[in-house]
Structures are given as structure tokens and as C-alpha cells.
């Protein structure tokens, strides 16, 4: 007999592309979670329409409607209780949550961040990565703790930073990796194969697939350009 699917609520603030990836994954009855609700702090978040179009209940809890940050998080917590949430997944939720809220949900709340933590915490990760001149970038799924982008890491995906990248091209490449990584991490978490153990993530009950693949940029597989030959054939 299959275990009951974990009731999962997603928090968003914007377009909801990672939210959509999770909803799509959970559309498979074999996936170990069901997305029972989407909460946004922004009434005009594009993700609300996407969730509703896919049959997921939505709720707006705007910060402007509450006297304080604490009151706002209390309202979110009440909505999570109404949804019967067992897991909270942050997917582009752009407000820092209060310590009381995080501590109540700690070990049951996860987030995706567009960088390879612990590097580039916070905002503007892609432009900062380009400014730093790094050659490999990526994304991270982690448990949420009171400190920003500081919780134990569940999973990461790396992508190359290409020589001619700008912020839009790098962002698009990382976003594709996010859409693959977040459903994988949520699946492992819901199946009980990863859990928060103090300040680390404990893994159990599954075997990793080994691979010799290496992400490298500039790619060593690329042929070097013979500039003299190129000059000879260029009109």
C-alpha cells in the first residue's frame, strides 16, 4: 500500500515558474506530494493565475493588510493550517520570514536559491556571479532556517558560465536547472530520504547514481579557435 501523499503548500511572490514545475511533478499520482495550495504575498503575482488554471487553490495574504511582519506571518501560518500543510515550499517568495514562523516550520520548510550556496546569498545572484568572474554557477535547494539562505543543503545543480554570457542568458540556464532540481529535492524530502539533522542534512534510503560528468567552462571539449586560419578564410 502506498504511503499517503504529503500535503504541500507553495509560497510565491511573482511569476511562479518553480511553483509550476512542482505542480507539474505532483500531477503524477506516484509523486509523493500533492500541492494543496499556493499562497502569495503579492495580489498581482502571475503565479496565482497559473496555479488556479491547474486546479490548485490559491490565497493572497498581502503584507499591506497586516499591522506588522509578525502579524503577516501569523496569518500565513493560519492559512497553512487551513490547507492542512505538512510541507512548505518557498518558490520565489521574496520576503524574509520571522524567526518564530521559521522555527515552527523548521525541518518541514524548504527553499530554492539561484546560486551554489553558500556563495551569493541574497539577491542579484547572477549579476554578482558574472562580476566575480566565476566559471560555474547553479542553484541550491535547502532547508529554511532563520538566517537568510543559510539552512542545510538538500541538493544542488551546477551550470557553466559561458564566456559570452550576460545576466539574461545565465539566468535562463540556471532556471532550467532549478525546474529539474526542485521536484527532485521535494520528492526525496517527502519520501523521508532527506531530513534536517541539526545544521546538516541527513540522507538515507537511496543510492546515488555515479557519473563521471564534469561541468567546466570554458569547456575543454570545445575545439580551440585557430585565429590565423579564421583570418585566412574570412572575407
Give the catalytic positions in this structure.
Answer: 113
How far is 225 from 141, CA to CA, in rounded Å?
38
Could you give the residue ranges of the DSSP H alpha helices within the chain? 17-26, 46-53, 69-83, 99-105, 125-132, 167-190, 227-233
Give the integer Cα–Cα distance in Å for 155 and 181: 7
Rg over alpha carbons for the chain, rounded to the nearest Å, is 20
C-alpha cell at 192: 523521508
Which residues, 6 or more positions from 68, have their beta carbon under 8 angstroms from its beta carbon? none
Report phi then psi at 210, rounded to 5.
-75, 150
Distance CA 207, CA 78 (A): 38
Amino acid at each position: 500500500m502506498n504511503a499517503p501523499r504529503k500535503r504541500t503548500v507553495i509560497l510565491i511572490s511573482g511569476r511562479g515558474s518553480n511553483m509550476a514545475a512542482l505542480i507539474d511533478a505532483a500531477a503524477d499520482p506516484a509523486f509523493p506530494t500533492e500541492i494543496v495550495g499556493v499562497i502569495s504575498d503579492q495580489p498581482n503575482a502571475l503565479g496565482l493565475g497559473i496555479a488556479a488554471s491547474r486546479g490548485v487553490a490559491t490565497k493572497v495574504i498581502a503584507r499591506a493588510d497586516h499591522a506588522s511582519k509578525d502579524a503577516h506571518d501569523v496569518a500565513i501560518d493560519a492559512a497553512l493550517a487551513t490547507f492542512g500543510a505538512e510541507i512548505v515550499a518557498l518558490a520565489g517568495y521574496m520576503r524574509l520570514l520571522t524567526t518564530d514562523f521559521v522555527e515552527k516550520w523548521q525541518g518541514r520548510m524548504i527553499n530554492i536559491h539561484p546560486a551554489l550556496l553558500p556563495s551569493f546569498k541574497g539577491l542579484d545572484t547572477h549579476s554578482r556571479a558574472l562580476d566575480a568572474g566565476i566559471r560555474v554557477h547553479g542553484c541550491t535547494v535547502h532547508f529554511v532556517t532563520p538566517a537568510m539562505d543559510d539552512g542545510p543543503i538538500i541538493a544542488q545543480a551546477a551550470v557553466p558560465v559561458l564566456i559570452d554570457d550576460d545576466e539574461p542568458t545565465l539566468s535562463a540556464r540556471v532556471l532550467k536547472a532549478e525546474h529539474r532540481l526542485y521536484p527532485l529535492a521535494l520528492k526525496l524530502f517527502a519520501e523521508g530520504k532527506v531530513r534536517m539533522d541539526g545544521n546538516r542534512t541527513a540522507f538515507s534510503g537511496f543510492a546515488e547514481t555515479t557519473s563521471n560528468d564534469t561541468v567546466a567552462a570554458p569547456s575543454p571539449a570545445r575545439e580551440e579557435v585557430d585565429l590565423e586560419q579564421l583570418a585566412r578564410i574570412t572575407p
